Structure 1
Amino acid sequence: MAYKASGAGYADVARHFRTLIQDGELTPGDALPSVQEIRQQFDVSAKTVSRALSVLKTEGLVTGRGSLGTVVTAQPNVAATGAARLKRLERTGKEYAAGESSTDHVAMVRSCADPDIAEQLGIELHDEIVIRRRVFRQNGQPTVVALSCIHIRARSAVPEVTQQGQLKPFWQKTYTERTGLTVTRGPERRSARLASSDELAALEVEAPATAAVPVLVLRTTFHDENGPIEVWEDVHAPGLWQTSDAGV
């Protein structure tokens, strides 16, 4: 946790500890340094430290714990966005944060029936794509149904994308190593819609068959020099807070 930033503001201090928490360097129950230690570490005033800790408490990342000072919370209702997971992987090499896991990894080749995804991939509607699906969990509870819609051209370089089960390493890394083409990430697009029955089942949400359950949906498009290569779609369980890589 060595860091020294003369003249840092409260947002810089909050960002530093937020990143440590999201990357799993600080886990639930761990204590943050004392106010005096943070003051010395960042060369800031006690007021600046207080504001930074207040921000982290508002975000549900830390809480006051008497003589223990400020400690990291369990965050059962927080789920990372796809962009945040990728940034964490790039920073630390860690695929999962503390308490996070993924299950139900499925791969298939299907025609693309979603006009928006077809447009983002630069293909015709009903062209074939590779679809990879998994469910992210926090402490065993499902938080995100994650869908990867991969351009069929990627299969020639990485045939493993159609392999069932979890892929290691991340397929884009293998693609870059084999083709020399760098894959870049576009911004996350956020929208809301009603969840399908399959999504509710994967998220273990019990609702009447006629119920309308809104969910947050995040989409991210990836490109190489030849055009779009993948679209991520994350469907978040109702009632969750999302953490992104914004400002990290």
Structure 2
Amino acid sequence: MPKKDPPVYAEIAAHYRQLIADGELAPGNAMPSMKDVCAKFGVTITTANRAFRILKTEGLTLVKPGVGTVVAKRPTVAATAAARLDRLTRTGKAYAPKEKSIKHTAALRSCADPDIAEQLDIEPHDEIVLRTRVFVVDGQPTAVAISCIHPRALAAVPELLDQKPFGRFWQEIYTERTGRTITRSPERRGARLASDSELAALEVDVPPDVPVPVLVLVNTFQDEDGPIEVWEDVYAPGLWQVAAE
């Protein structure tokens, strides 16, 4: 059965969702009037209203008395890793509005996680490059990002062991220097209990030994020689995730 195109109201919502994610419409900015939306897309007021209801339901907009619909602050919304990478490719922007990354670490570590070892096609306890950082939106930690990188990547990108951020995605540098294209498998979602270090990074204050379930999104990358990176995002409890920006 052929895939149906999304309804017009969904396309309108996606258009403004994109503008908000890219910072073209920043928190506090007024959204276009219903009249302007109808004229721009050639739709009825009913269709325009339906699109705006989607954005409001997603927490991206709110109605401000005396002003109308405005872009909401979004400390409770966090993009997935795949969405961040798509935004970087599309716009060149490493961060969403009011977003930054902190607490960067980089080191060679023994891979004690058998699942990660299997995904990287290495033996358990072989060394990997482990890079971590915490994403923060408007001052609130949203996700701990953990990159487990095959050590063969160091031959082309020795900077992987630098503590400071790259300023661009390291895989782009790898491709420039090796000519090898890296592809990404579909993003996978799971859940587990957060570690003490993850809770501390996310500033989740709970008594010792209290289990805290968290959402984990996993992206795996490979080139012609096999797996090269497993990227896990561990999200703070109570956040909405958006798969597209």
Name the TM-score, length of structure 2 as normaliser.
Answer: 0.94
1:52 counterpart residue number: 51
Corresponding position: 1:187 with 2:169:
no
**After the TM superposition, which residues 164-175 of structure 1 pair with which residues of structure 2 at under 5 Å, given as runs?**
164-175=163-174
**After the TM superposition, which residues 54-203 of structure 1 pair with which residues of structure 2 at under 5 Å, given as runs?**
54-203=53-202
> Is the 2:94–2:168 Cα contact (8 Å) retained in structure 1?
no
- 1:164-211 deviation per Cα after TM superposition (whole angstroms, max 9, x unaligned): 121122211100110111111211111111111111111111111121
**Structure 1 residue 243, shift from structure 2 partner:** 1.2
> Is the 1:79–1:143 Cα contact (8 Å) retained in structure 2?
yes
Question: What is the distance in 2 between the residues matched to 1:209 and 1:137?
Answer: 24
**Aligned residue identity for 1:121:** L
- 1:66-119 deviation per Cα after TM superposition (whole angstroms, max 9, x unaligned): 342211000121111111111111111111111111101000111111111112
> Is the 1:192–1:217 Cα contact (8 Å) retained in structure 2?
yes
Question: What is the distance in 2 between the residues matched to 1:237 and 1:131?
Answer: 21
1:231 counterpart residue number: 230
| Number of residue equivalences | 240
**Aligned residue identity for 1:60:** G
> Is the 2:218–2:233 Cα contact (8 Å) retained in structure 1?
yes
> Is the 1:8–1:42 Cα contact (8 Å) retained in structure 2?
no
> Is the 1:8–1:44 Cα contact (8 Å) retained in structure 2?
no
**Aligned residue identity for 1:118:** A
1:4 counterpart residue number: none
Question: What is the distance in 2 between the residues matched to 1:225 and 1:40?
Answer: 49
**Structure 1 residue 30, shift from structure 2 partner:** 0.8
**Aligned residue identity for 2:243:** S
2:20 counterpart residue number: 21
DSSP 3-state at the match of 1:64:
strand
2:218 counterpart residue number: 219
Question: What is the distance in 1 between the residues matched to 2:36 and 2:123?
Answer: 58
> Is the 1:216–1:235 Cα contact (8 Å) retained in structure 2?
yes
1:3 counterpart residue number: none
DSSP 3-state at the match of 1:168:
coil
Question: What is the distance in 2 between the residues matched to 1:119 and 1:43?
Answer: 52
Q: Which stretches in structure 2 are left out of the alignment for 5+ residues?
A: 1-5
Question: What is the distance in 2 between the residues matched to 1:84 and 1:76?
Answer: 16
Large movers: runs of 4+ above 4 Å: none
Name the TM-score, length of structure 1 as normaliser.
Answer: 0.93
Question: What is the distance in 2 between the residues matched to 1:91 and 1:59?
Answer: 23
**Structure 1 residue 8, shift from structure 2 partner:** 6.3
RMSD (CA atoms): 1.4
Q: Which stretches in structure 1 are left out of the alignment for 5+ residues?
A: 1-6
**Aligned residue identity for 2:91:** T
Percent identity among equivalent residues?
A: 61
DSSP 3-state at the match of 1:153:
helix
